[in-house]
Chain A
Amino acid sequence: MGLGRVLIVDDEADIRKTVRLTLTKAGFDVIEAQDGEAAIKETRSGDNPLMLDAILCDIHMPKVNGKQATAFIREQFPSVPVIIMTGQPDIKDATELMKQGVVDYLIKPVTPEKLTEVVSKHVKAHVYKDKFRV
């Protein structure tokens, strides 16, 4: 098992791919979802809810958008850190999402170092919390 399991939610296949390549190289397991609906399905698949250590989520997506997906995820899995990654930074969106408990807000494009750094930080915190049931 790697450093942790990360779900990337983005409607752009190549963005998912670059994120997967970057994070896989850094030692994470990466699962992809192409929109909010798929993300919600992904988190529910199987009898046991999927164990995730972090979720990277775009905002503007077809069907269920990032804000709706975040609201769902925050309610169902309050302990899983959600990191927003958007191409359209918007102060109002950011404030709204921060209130929902999003842990970080990245603006595209993100460099691999930055992405790895941010994901590592939040995954570590999550794993630690899990282990010690904080």
Chain B
Amino acid sequence: MRTPPRILVVDDNAMNVDITQACLSTKGYEIVTAADGEAALIMAVEQLPDLILLDVMMPKRDGLDVCRTLKAERSLPFIPIILMTARADSEDIVRGLEAGADEYLTKPVDHVALVARVSSMLRIKEQQDTIQAQAAQLEVYAAELAADNRKLSAQLAEEAKLAEIARLLGDIGHDVKNMMMPIVMGADLLDCELKELLKRLAGDDVNRSKATQELSQEVFGMVRSNSRRIQDRVKEIADAVKGRSGPASFAACQVSTLIRAVFSTLRYFAEQSGVRLSAENLDDLPVLNADESRLFNVFYNLINNAIPETPSGGSITVDGRFDSETEVLTLSVKDTGRGMPREVRDSLFSKRAISRKAGGTGLGTRIVKDAVDSHAGSITVESEEGKGTTFFIALPLNPAEIKKNATPSVCSVS
């Protein structure tokens, strides 16, 4: 509604218009006028008045017709209409109200009554406007909610799809392991048999049997390492998808137990490669709030990658320390391997990590990075070519709290 309210006065009698105008102007209303029904319709659409005072008996279109037309027009906002009728019989009043009028006055119009009716109708108009504005706002909210809803269900569908893929990959991984086992064990069995056979034949031709043994050792080594690679690859892909398919689930986690579990999974591979796995200073560390299976993957990947990098006789050491002031637990994985060149180190945790393993995907380091990120932690690497590589994983004791209080961090470029 406007301030001051705009009122359209419609009467074919110019004197009536003047009188009404004079009366209402004293109250500060803005008055526009029309002298017949058609002019009234045009004025109503063009001026969008806040109230219409409408004479019933007029040429061209009478007041009832104008009233019906305006009330039927959906594009117009609510405009209260007061009919002014010369006759005061109830049938007339009923017809007027049926035509959609909101109020009526009988002529000759009593000025006090006119002012009172006008202000009461304007009050209703104001309330109507508020209701309509609220309805419009509600519609906007409803549309926003519907959009959010669509986005959420799309997201849920996406997550369900990822979970399904992760499950499928888990099954494939299980199948692959089952299928690899007869190959690996079969190769070892054959290896044994061949050694025995060669031992028996050794007397005949030492050199030839030695050559055969060397060749078969190489072939068996190839079968073993490639079987391992196939399994590693499947595990990498499954873990990468799993890491993206759901939120991390945090629980109390004892670091020493976790590292022991990783060591026992990799011990055999390490022993075969002549690499010693050791843990230092892990027993006194405080209990960490962490997603155990993700942390397992972090150390599994780091140690699994370090074993082939470390020459026989070398070692891989997991060390831990706790800073009670910052409540950050730092674990390091140190190998005595060949170290990595600068470009490998720099690209290590970027989206396009370069893998140094033959045919590696670099997925392993992605899994590590994703898992450390989900713990609000950080990972850094120090490496010296020929001497070895050390990874440092800093984990806050309580990542959930850090995440809650997290403020957007400022990136500094040095």
Q: A residues within 8 Å of B by Cβ?
A: 12, 14-15, 17-19, 21-22, 25, 60, 87-89, 91, 94, 107-115
Contacts and interface: CB of A to CB of B under 8 A. Distances in A.
Interface in B279-301: 292-293, 296
22 contacts: A14-B179, A14-B182, A15-B178, A15-B181, A18-B182, A18-B186, A19-B185, A22-B189, A25-B192, A60-B174, A87-B173, A87-B174, A88-B170, A88-B174, A88-B177, A91-B293, A107-B265, A108-B181, A109-B177, A109-B180, A109-B227, A112-B192
A18 B325 CA distance: 55
Contacts of B170: 88
B58 interface: no
B182 A15 contact: yes
Contacts of B177: 87-88, 108-109
Nearest to B175: A87
Contacts of B192: 25, 112
B293 A21 contact: no
A110 B189 contact: no
A109 B74 CA distance: 77
Nearest to A87: B177
A18 B185 contact: yes
B268 interface: yes
A9 B268 CA distance: 23
A25 B178 CA distance: 21
- B interface, how many residues as a size bin? 20 to 34
A111 B185 contact: yes
Contact of B184 (A19, A89, A94, A111): A111
Nearest to A90: B293
Q: Which 8 A-B pairs have the closest CB atoms?
A: A87-B177, A14-B182, A109-B181, A18-B185, A109-B184, A18-B182, A112-B188, A12-B178
A111 B181 contact: no
Interface in B223-279: 227, 231, 261, 265, 268
A91 B262 CA distance: 10
B185 A25 contact: no
A94 B182 CA distance: 23
B178 A17 contact: no
Given A14-B182, A109-B180, A111-B184, A91 B189 contact: no
Contacts of B188: 111-113
Given A18-B186, A109-B227, A113-B188, A87 B261 contact: no
A15 B178 CA distance: 7
A108 B179 CA distance: 10
Instruction: Name the residue in B170, B177, B231, B292 with the highest tally of chain A Cβ atoms < 10 Å from its Cβ.
Output: B177
A22 B227 CA distance: 19
Residue of A17, A88, A115 ringed by the most chain B CB atoms within 10 A: A88
A115 B182 CA distance: 13
B173 A88 contact: yes
